[in-house]
Structure 1
Amino acid sequence: MPAGIGYIAQVLDDHSIEYEYIDMRIDSSLRELRKRALHLAPGLIGFSMSSLNYKNTYRMISWIKEVSPFSKIVVGGHHATIFKEKVLEDCPDIDFAVISDGEKTILELCEGNVPYEATKGLVFREGEKIQFTGERAPVKNLDELAFPRYEKFNLNHYSRQIPIHSSRGCVHQCTFCPNKLLARAYRTRSVGNFMAEIEHWYEKGIRQFAIDDDNFTLNRERVLRICDEIERRNLTNLFLRCSNGIRADRVDRDLLARMKEIGVREVGFGVDGGNNDVLHFLKKGETIETIENAIKIACDLGFDVKLFFLVGSPHETKADIEDSIRLARKYPVARVNFNNPIPYPGTEMFEYVKEHHLFLIPPEEYLNQVAENESIPVFETPELVKRERVKILKQCHRVEKEVMRNTVYRMFSRFPVLAYLIRSMFIVGLFEKLFFESLFFRNIFERIRYRRIIKR
């Protein structure tokens, strides 16, 4: 469920602005998109853009312009925020780009009461020129923004889980992360406002939520107040995920235990490197001892724990990656992800690779062709050349499957025959294909997990 688009849609709903929503990942073919654009002839068509596969978005926009030439095109998201005017330079069919927090900018654009040049956070065309009006001040009071109700979203196309955010922004300086390029200060919703969103969906029968903050546990006391409110409002049988990642240096046993009591069942840790040398180069600002201690505590408390690693960061050696693999295997974690590092333009990692002429694939190609879960390196280093990178990425992906296979086996250990069959299915990739690529089977799998964990 795309929460960012949900916030934009809610602004339109609240101001009686008609809109339709299409999720091209699951909802429609390009032919259907063109058909609906032709039928609706909207005044404005908006696209959320990621830097990954940005050229595919450009192609889609050009196709739409062919059938609906009088519709204005607006783009938003990380890619537009980072590149601003260049997005309109690269794609002549784009008319506007909305920068950073888009709720107020898109409203002014739709209502048409404010001149383009006076609409902060907007890139627009003025004749042959492309103008940027300057940054809009971040929304300081997030309670001003109505949380998404997804009125025009087909919720049956998504898993039975609602994404929620209690805060926006990040205070950390990791070299690989594009979030700090977005110039978004860390801001929080009030506890009452955040709880109102959970309660809204709880009354509709929803029990599973994904807390998608970048820094949910940054303020320990605030998290404890949220826990107290969940308990006070008697919101029982919740299944809360912090799988986007929480900082290991921002949790302790007491905090995690309290989170577990009120329904947090899954936590993710961005480990990224297996020892302090790698963490230092990545500017993580935490030690491997702190990270490992948090993992151990979370596993001891019975959380489903996810770990995220990078494989082959600048200065990282094969021995360093072996440290990551050892940590991934050391504890009964639910899942690990070993990601092929993709240097995003503007990040410190990107500038380092560029300055040292380490690219194997030009950025305009790898951003549109290579995924983080593939064994295709986009740069090499003296410590790890291309051939070694391919080999170790494949090894790490085998470890991912090993960890997941063990997790599934533990889940069904009370039923030995079924556990054996599932383990065998996993070896040939059938279980993974059925339960992680199919929404129908994934929902069944999630219901089994939910009931098992609630009973536990």
Structure 2
Amino acid sequence: MKVDFTLINPVNHCRKTLVDNLAILNLRAVSEAAGFSTHVIDFQRKFLEEEKTFSKEIYRWFSDEIKAIDSHVFGVSIMNASYIWGIMIAKIIKRAHPESVIIFGGPQITSLREMVFQDCPEVDFLSIFDGEETLPLLLEYIACGAQGDLPKNSISKTGDSGLCELIEYDINNLPELDYSNSYGMNVVNIEAGRGCPFNCYYCSSRVLLGQKARFLNVDKLLETSQRVYDCMAKTGTLSSINYNHDNFLASHKYFFEFAVKKYAMNYDFKYNCEGRIDTITPEIIGLLKATGCISVFVGLETGSQRIQRICRKNLNLKKVIPTVKSIISSGMRFETNFIIGFPEETYSEVLDTLALAQEVASTSFMSNVDFSYMSPEPLTDVAQGVNKEDYIIVKESQYYLDLLAAGIDPNSLSPLHFNHLYTVRNENYDILDVLARADTYFDLINHFKFATYLMIHRDGRSIEDIFEMCRDRDAFAVAESYTATLDQAGVYYAVSCFEIDRLAIVRREERAQDVLFYRYPVQKLYQLFIETMNISGFESVASTPTKIVVRSAK
């Protein structure tokens, strides 16, 4: 295939829901609007759709895809976790097309700038900050023989650069995007805006996108959302729109306009959004529910009020659980993330975070908690305070294991350029031990909620005790060892066994059985627990032998 320009989305290490890359959609739209025929190679999407794994064979796959394209210019959009793969792909491009021109862009490139040329000499140009304005001008510059002045926010490996400064691109100027490749997916990302007005010391958003919250015109957002949702419905997929914005609820004025117009136009699309929990008032919750929101994500980050102040998140933690309960009681899912490993954090404050995470998780089966480890992003305030020798590589991370499987030595990669492989040494506790146990702990409180409930509310176990149980074991092992301490003739033992068996089936574990036997009506009891999140009346339930036949357990 012969095209002017080929856009590439490298693989990364995320195994979550398959969604199209918005940056690629945007850049394709602006390059084609500027008159450049454009082809996309979305390696990450193909990796997930074709259920590929990381191995040394991945380079042959890259090479076959790239050789099939006759293109003079290649653009690679790069995040932190795809940086190493962008470098590998650039090397393959130059071998397959020696005369081609390679442009790197994306958040990681904006952070590293000229240092990219040291990591990857094959790259010819960088496009930094919002690429939608720079890329068409840079393509025109290359097409004209690279003569004259470089466009703004572009850098050449020869040392030349255009004026480099944050330009807050008006996304309302974007051409209409082609979402047709997304219609069979469960979720379609639509960009609602960029930028966040807050000042958290670990976040790179204000450096890369600016501190002013920008929004897509409400009418355009609503019309696009309904059109995409209708097209999704025609595929028979039960789907929703995911609004891509660091803080969709940052402006109540904007959200009120969104809510009023969505209701007035009788639009019926379902959507997910993100916001800060201290901007979610009872009125906002009511409007979210009324306008078809099905899930809200917020970053809580830490259960320590002291660390909230230090990292400048500044949430009032006393208001978290009432707000979470209000969101869930309105019928919406609640999702959140915590960070473990703040440099200033004590072990007691780690336990505070684990306690808040458990309290959130235990509010409902419609709440989900996750965590990430502190891995300072380039240019952030927290990164400026960390010495290079204080970085510690996390050898249990999926990122690390994937690189090993592909023949790359992760230990050779700089923590300043590949920071997601690393966390930060903590003088108050063993960070690697805490992270290893946290993996088990968060799986436990999310997926073994009945067992966790019994530990805390029946047995009176502390969060510290439960966290200690997570040492050198996965969540299944913790739940099984705890369940073994229960009266095997009792109702709690039966329901806890059912919870373990149920998840084994869902995850297609080897332990999953085709036929299950219990002393009690465990399905009804577990459903009751799901609905009420308590065990009131369980001990009075009569023993009723129950047989469950599982369809296709493995």
TM-score under structure 2 length normalisation: 0.67
1:395 aligns with 2:437: yes
| One of 24, 31, 35 as aligned partner of 1:12 | 31
Q: Residues of 2 paired with 1:120 and 1:233: CA distance?
A: 41
**2:308 partner SS:** helix
1:182 aligns with 2:208: yes
Q: Residues of 1 paired with 2:325 and 2:148: CA distance?
A: 53
What is aligned with 2:315? 286
**2:42 partner SS:** coil
- Tell me the amino acid that sits aligned with residue 402 of structure 1: L
| One of 257, 260, 280 as aligned partner of 1:251 | 280
| Percent pairwise identity | 19
1:409-448 superposed matches below 5 A: 423-426=500-503, 430=507
**1:119 partner SS:** coil
Evaluate the alpha carbon distance shift between residue 124 and residue 164 of structure 1 in structure 2; reply closer, same or farther with a 3 A threshold.
Answer: same
Evaluate the alpha carbon distance shift between residue 154 and residue 36 of structure 1 in structure 2; reply closer, same or farther with a 3 A threshold.
Answer: farther
Indicate conservation of the 8 Å contact 1:53/1:367, yes or no.
Answer: no
What is aligned with 2:489? none
| One of 177, 190, 197 as aligned partner of 1:171 | 197
Residues 26-49 of structure 1: per-residue CA shift (max 9 Å, x gap): 316543432343232201111111
**For the pair shown, which has the larger CA radius of gyration, 1 or 2?**
2
The gaps in structure 1 that reach 5 residues or longer are: 410-416, 434-456
Indicate conservation of the 8 Å contact 2:340/2:374, yes or no.
Answer: yes
Q: Residues of 2 paired with 1:154 and 1:134: CA distance?
A: 36
**1:52 partner SS:** helix
Q: Residues of 2 paired with 1:418 and 1:155: CA distance?
A: 40
Corresponding pairs, count: 409
Cα deviation for residue 71 of structure 1 reads: 1.3
| One of 136, 142, 146 as aligned partner of 1:107 | 136
Q: Residues of 1 paired with 2:223 and 2:31: CA distance?
A: 20
Q: Residues of 2 paired with 1:428 and 1:396: CA distance?
A: 24
Cα deviation for residue 420 of structure 1 reads: 7.2
| One of 317, 322, 340 as aligned partner of 2:351 | 322
Evaluate the alpha carbon distance shift between residue 408 and residue 254 of structure 1 in structure 2; reply closer, same or farther with a 3 A threshold.
Answer: farther
| One of 65, 68, 90 as aligned partner of 1:39 | 68
1:14-413 superposed matches below 5 A: 14-27=33-46, 29-112=58-141, 115=147, 117-125=149-157, 129-135=158-164, 138-150=167-179, 153=181, 156=184, 159-184=185-210, 185-206=212-233, 207-236=239-268, 238-242=269-273, 245-330=274-359, 331-332=363-364, 334-354=367-387, 357-361=389-393, 364-366=413-415, 378-384=423-429, 386=430, 389-405=431-447
Q: Residues of 2 paired with 1:308 and 1:342: CA distance?
A: 14
Cα deviation for residue 181 of structure 1 reads: 2.1
- Tell me the amino acid that sits aligned with residue 381 of structure 2: E
- Tell me the amino acid that sits aligned with residue 231 of structure 1: Y
CA RMSD of aligned residues (A): 3.0
- Tell me the amino acid that sits aligned with residue 42 of structure 1: S
Residues 195-235 of structure 1: per-residue CA shift (max 9 Å, x gap): 12112213313551111201110111211211122222222
Q: Residues of 2 paired with 1:345 and 1:65: CA distance?
A: 28
Of the two structures, which has the highest relative contact order with CA contacts closer than 8 Å and spacing of 6 or more?
Answer: 1
Indicate conservation of the 8 Å contact 1:248/1:269, yes or no.
Answer: yes
Indicate conservation of the 8 Å contact 1:335/1:400, yes or no.
Answer: no
Q: Residues of 2 paired with 1:35 and 1:84: CA distance?
A: 29
Q: Which moved more, 1:182-191 or 1:44-53?
A: 182-191
The gaps in structure 2 that reach 5 residues or longer are: 1-19, 48-57, 234-238, 394-410, 452-493, 511-554
Residues 50-95 of structure 1: per-residue CA shift (max 9 Å, x gap): 2235233212211221011111101111111112122123311101
- Tell me the amino acid that sits aligned with residue 171 of structure 2: L
Q: Residues of 1 paired with 2:499 and 2:42: CA distance?
A: 32
Q: Residues of 2 paired with 1:281 and 1:87: CA distance?
A: 32
- Tell me the amino acid that sits aligned with residue 394 of structure 1: A
Evaluate the alpha carbon distance shift between residue 308 and residue 177 of structure 1 in structure 2; reply closer, same or farther with a 3 A threshold.
Answer: same
Indicate conservation of the 8 Å contact 1:239/1:263, yes or no.
Answer: yes
Cα deviation for residue 364 of structure 1 reads: 3.8
Indicate conservation of the 8 Å contact 1:240/1:265, yes or no.
Answer: yes
Indicate conservation of the 8 Å contact 2:130/2:209, yes or no.
Answer: no
Q: Which moved more, 1:214-223 or 1:389-398?
A: 389-398
Q: Residues of 2 paired with 1:427 and 1:316: CA distance?
A: 35
- Tell me the amino acid that sits aligned with residue 226 of structure 1: F
Evaluate the alpha carbon distance shift between residue 13 and residue 154 of structure 1 in structure 2; reply closer, same or farther with a 3 A threshold.
Answer: farther
Evaluate the alpha carbon distance shift between residue 364 and residue 181 of structure 1 in structure 2; reply closer, same or farther with a 3 A threshold.
Answer: farther
**1:130 partner SS:** coil
Q: Which moved more, 1:111-120 or 1:313-322?
A: 111-120
Q: Residues of 2 paired with 1:254 and 1:148: CA distance?
A: 33
